[in-house]
Amino acid sequence: MAYYMIGRALFLKRKLEAMPENQGHLYDNTRKTPEDSVREIELERYLVN
């Protein structure tokens, strides 16, 4: 069952990546630790004036 879930997750990831409205908005955290992901967040991009 776990293999099916991994396969399904990869299928959905590819499907999302192929959608034009998602281009440039998806974050690939493959092989990254949570610490690496947090370190890459650019807080300035999310400030509201």
The predicted pLDDT at position 30 comes to 85
Q: Is the dihedral of CA 12, 21, 32, 48 positive or negative?
A: negative
45 pLDDT above the threshold of 90:
no
- Residue pair 36/42 in contact (Cβ under 8 Å)? The answer is no
**pTM of the full predicted structure?**
0.52
Those residues whose C-beta lies under 8 Å from the C-beta of residue 29, and which sit 6 or more positions away, are 37
Between 22 and 49, whose confidence is greater?
A: 22
2 pLDDT above the threshold of 80:
no
CA neighbor of 30 nearest in space, from 45, 46, 10, 4: 10
- Expressed as residue numbers, the domain containing 20 is 2-46
4-43 pLDDT, tens per residue? Answer: 788 998 899 899 999 999 988 888 888 999 999 999 988 8
Q: How many domains in the chain? A: 1
The predicted pLDDT at position 21 comes to 95
